[in-house]
Amino acid sequence: MMPTLPCPFPLEKILVCTDDSPASLGAVQAAFDLARACRSRIFLLYTLEFSPYYEYSQHDALGMTPALSQEFFKLRERAAREHLENRQREAAQQGLELDIRLQTGGPVYAEILAAAADIQPQLIIMGRKGRSGLERLLVGSVTARVIGHSSYQVLVVPRKAVLSFQKLLVASDGSPAGQAACETALGIAQRTGGQLTAVTAGYGELDPKQAKVIVRGFAAAAKRQDVPVIALTPGGRPEEAIIQVAAAKHADLIIMGSYGRTGFKRLFMGSVAERVIGLAACPVLVVKGAE
């Protein structure tokens, strides 16, 4: 019998992205677990990018004619649709409501954002290849672009990670985005009963004294809501401090803030959130905050 996962926050609709790779397995399983806990409707999205003009201009180098290129793309489409239908049957067997979507055309991140704008989910779930996948989350990555451009919460799940809310870690720098992450973390802790650790790294412009003020303020807010919290202010680079604390506390979930759509450049150029996503062994929930 599957363990019961508590519902962390109201979730009517979940958009989960898949490409039928091992990297997306954790994301799909997390969507199933959350849908079961929250009675959510799942939208499973498979996106195929096709740039015919680019492919046609390069066919001599590849030894592939435009006609063969189109036929190959049709084969990919059929395989993608088969994968989606298999997942839909699997969900139905578990009593879950799952809608499938296959989108083709422009850049993958743009198709995901278009689907999100249409569906209006409370959460987008995406996969991640593993700890060695940091370089995949740097400039040009689909995950970084989706987080940078969207206004939705995004849950990034490593390939072999199992979603749980027993041990939560929230990281904040005192910014509006960090405050949004703290509010979300408090809500999750209240609903799930998870142990909560708060981390603010004293580094660079944020000195240790300021870091202590931030975590003490959060601890006071948590106490008013009867949520126990362990408040820590480690030194060193924020992403390294967060990863080290998460490992020491055996965190099941890291909760972080990211700015709104205008904060894309920060994420795009190697922000703390981006690096934590690339290095964390557990899922990372990115909460959107105002600029």
pLDDT, one tens digit per residue, over 46-70 is 998 865 544 444 444 445 455 557 7
Confidence class of residue 23 from pLDDT cuts 50, 70 and 90? confident
Residues 138, 42, 111, CA angle at the centre, nearest 5°? 45
Whole-prediction pTM: 0.88
CA-to-CA distance for 227 and 214, rounded, in angstroms? 17
Q: Is residue 48 within 8 Å of 80, Cβ to Cβ?
A: yes
Confidence class of residue 252 from pLDDT cuts 50, 70 and 90? very high
The more confidently predicted of residues 98 and 275 is: 98
Q: Which residue, among 48, 49, 44, has the nearest Cα to 25 in the 3D structure?
A: 44
Residue 207 main-chain phi, psi, to 5 deg: -80, 170
pLDDT digits (tens, 9 = 90+) for 149-191: 888 999 999 988 999 999 999 999 998 889 999 999 999 999 9
Q: Which residue, among 260, 208, 270, has the nearest Cα to 234 in the 3D structure?
A: 208
Q: Is residue 196 within 8 Å of 227, Cβ to Cβ?
A: yes
The more confidently predicted of residues 89 and 73 is: 89
Domains of the chain (ranges plus CATH)?
13-158 (3.40.50.620), 167-289 (3.40.50.620)
Q: Mean pLDDT over all residues of the chain?
A: 85
Of the chain, the percentage scoring pLDDT greater than 70 comes to 84
* CA separation, residue 137 to residues 14, 132, 209, 279 (Å): 22, 10, 32, 10
Could you tell me the two tokens for 122? 């409370």
Q: Which residue, among 119, 137, 141, has the nearest Cα to 41 in the 3D structure?
A: 119
Model pLDDT, residue 97: 96
CA-to-CA distance for 249 and 187, rounded, in angstroms? 20
Please provide the DSSP assignment of 125-150 as one string.
EEEE--GGGGGGGSTT-HHHHHHHH-
Sequence letter at residue 182: C
CA-to-CA distance for 5 and 21, rounded, in angstroms? 25
The more confidently predicted of residues 126 and 129 is: 126
How many other CB atoms sit within 10 Å of the CB of residue 95? 9
pLDDT digits (tens, 9 = 90+) for 199-232: 999 888 888 999 999 999 999 999 999 999 999 9
Could you tell me the two tokens for 28? 């799909």
Non-local CB neighbours of 72 within 8 Å, separated by 6+ positions: 64
Query: Residues 108-112: what's their mean pLDDT?
Result: 92
Confidence class of residue 3 from pLDDT cuts 50, 70 and 90? low
